[in-house]
Amino acid sequence: MKLQLQCVALAMATAMAAGQCSLPGGINGNSGAKDNTGFVNCHGRLKLGGRNDVQIVDESGSAVQLMGISSHGLQWFPQCYTKESISFLVEKWGINLFRAAMYITEHGYSDGNPGVKTLLKNIVQWTKELGIYVIIDWHMLSPGNPSDGAYSEAPAFWEEIAKQYKNEKHVIYEICNEPNGVSWGNIKAYADEIIPIIRKHDKNNIIIVGTTDWSQGVNNVEANPVANPHNVMYTFHFYAGTHMFLYDRIVQNAARVPIFATEWGVSEATGNGGPFLDNAKKFLDLFVDNGIAFSMWSYADKNEVSAALNEGACASKNWDQVSCSGHFLRSYIRTNVQTCSGGGPSPPSNPNPPPSPPSNPNPPPSPPSNPNPPPSPPSIPPSSGGGTCGAWAACQHDTSCCARGLSCMVQSQYYAQCRSDCPNGWACSSQPAPQPQPQPQPQPQPQPQPQPQPQPQPPSSNCGSPIGEWGNCKDNHCCASGLKCYQQSQYYAQCKSSCDKNGWTCKVLS
């Protein structure tokens, strides 16, 4: 039996390495090539529009859905980024967006390797010739403060870039990849310095600003946006094995904040673990429903789960030798991408529309007394429970799928989720999974135990070896030397060297 299990495991690993992993329902793994050459010619310079001006639209005001992939560090995998490789992605996968991640430290631009800027500019030129959009990514990561002295060249860099590309309709500026360990106020101050430098030359192209906690904090910006918000968007990053607790954050902010998912992965935040394809698809479907642009991390042949290519693919110029991650993205894009010929589902011009036209289509940002009217019952029937869908699973299409102890909680007429509690602002019409015989009283059924129902937790960390920085943890003993297990909320904790209280409880779990 042990030998059989080893053979099965080896066979599964071989299949995964060859990109032959099983895909979630709704993704056609056998769809043919999609060619998105000339996508920019169809849409021109992008801007913000749609309801509340939070969605990407083209020059004519029509909604545009960008789907693509990010490079890994240009300094580490330069052989992966050629006109030939990017042409293949455009002509065979159907991408309409490529993100060029120019690291600043870690042997990057300001760390003894100015040559990465040359490669970045080559990518900008190749994407122009191919007719797709490109993100110029100032990939700051460590240190986490975008105003740190390590990034002192930022003003001069953005002056040069904006001046050079002010007339290029396909260019998007990402001015700080993943701020961390600093408050939104610190990030905003940096953005308010850089944005005017770009706008001096380029009045209209989209600018993307990173957010707190490795660009997870899109919930912080609505009350305190940048000083000049014209065509400015805010970064959201997730990794499917670590960040499902952030799903509701997008649900709650997608109609109010211009969000751009410039980086995400099918793995854990470390780049390994998984792949968690069902989780990734839930996020991508939510992005498509709300017209949120995205690019996956990463187009590289690194030996890690999040890489789209198998090791050695770039050296052999085998651009379609995909890993499971690459197979998933290629298939999702081919199934869903918008093309000049009209292929793929068009993103909504009015994401998350209310069931009936509101009397005030642009309500003030202060929280309404009922964020999800109307008063009539939602059209999604409640769950009868007893199914196999776990916590956070979407249940609007199968309201009976929630596992015992969970209920299909209704957020709106269009979305529901298996949960043990109901967030503020949700309609919350639900029927819990079957429980022991309730007391015959008109009051809500009491819980079987006096303590609250257990909340969903992220997957347990394996303490067999120390967990490095950013790894999810359950207690302090799992973290590597110099790190502590800081709690963000009752749902999630991370091994970190320090903790910024902006959005975190910062309790050290013992």
What is the Cα–Cα distance from 214 to 182, expressed in whole angstroms?
10
What is the Cα–Cα distance from 98 to 295, expressed in whole angstroms?
7
Q: 484-489 and 47-49: which strand pairing?
A: unpaired
Tokens in use for 284? 């991508």
Handedness of CA 104, 110, 112, 116 (dihedral sign): positive
- On the question of pLDDT at 67 being above 70, the answer is yes
Average pLDDT, the chain: 81
Q: Which candidate, 229, 213, 250, places its Cα nearest to that of 502?
A: 213
- On the question of pLDDT at 285 being above 90, the answer is yes
Q: Are 205 and 171 in contact (CB under 8 A)?
A: yes
Q: Over the stretch 173-222, which tens digit does the pLDDT of each residue have?
A: 999 999 999 999 999 999 999 999 999 999 999 999 999 999 999 999 99
Q: CA 40 → CA 90, 95, 262, distances in Å?
A: 12, 12, 18
What is the Cα–Cα distance from 211 to 187, expressed in whole angstroms?
7
Q: CA 108 → CA 37, 150, 154, 270, 375, distances in Å?
A: 30, 11, 13, 20, 55
Contacts of 224 (CB under 8 A, 6+ apart): 184, 185, 188
Exposed/middle/buried for residue 486 (C-beta within 10 Å: 0-12, 13-18, 19+)? buried
Residue 414, SS3? coil
Q: 97-103 and 133-139: which strand pairing?
A: parallel
Higher-confidence position of 142 and 12: 142
What is the Cα–Cα distance from 59 to 39, expressed in whole angstroms?
13
Confidence class for position 353, pLDDT limits 50, 70, 90: very low
Q: Are 289 and 322 in contact (CB under 8 A)?
A: no
Q: Which candidate, 234, 206, 236, 272, places its Cα nearest to that of 462?
A: 272
What is the Cα–Cα distance from 503 to 488, expressed in whole angstroms?
7
What is the Cα–Cα distance from 473 to 94, expressed in whole angstroms?
38
Tokens in use for 283? 């996020």
For 109-203, list the strands marked E by DSSP: 133-139, 171-174
Place of tokens 């890993």: 323
Please give the model's pTM, rounded to 2 decimal places.
Answer: 0.69
Place of tokens 């490079």: 71
Lowest mean pLDDT among 45-59, 338-352, 391-405: 338-352
Q: Average of pLDDT values for 461-479?
A: 67
Q: CA 312 → CA 32, 187, 315, 318, distances in Å?
A: 24, 38, 5, 8
Q: What is the pLDDT at residue 343?
A: 54
Higher-confidence position of 493 and 319: 319
Confidence class for position 474, pLDDT limits 50, 70, 90: confident
Q: Are 142 and 149 in contact (CB under 8 A)?
A: no
Q: Are 233 and 208 in contact (CB under 8 A)?
A: yes
Q: Over the stretch 422-450, which tens digit does the pLDDT of each residue have?
A: 655 556 665 443 333 444 444 444 444 44
- Active-site positions read 178, 263
Q: What is the pLDDT at residue 244?
A: 96
What is the Cα–Cα distance from 115 to 54, expressed in whole angstroms?
36
Lowest mean pLDDT among 45-49, 108-112, 306-310, 378-382: 378-382
Q: Over the stretch 238-265, which tens digit does the pLDDT of each residue have?
A: 999 999 999 999 999 999 999 999 999 9
Confidence class for position 334, pLDDT limits 50, 70, 90: very high
Q: What is the b/e burial string over 235-256, where b = at least 16 CB atoms within 10 angstroms of the residue's CB?
A: bbbbbbbbbbbbbbbbbbbbbb
Q: What is the pLDDT at residue 416?
A: 60
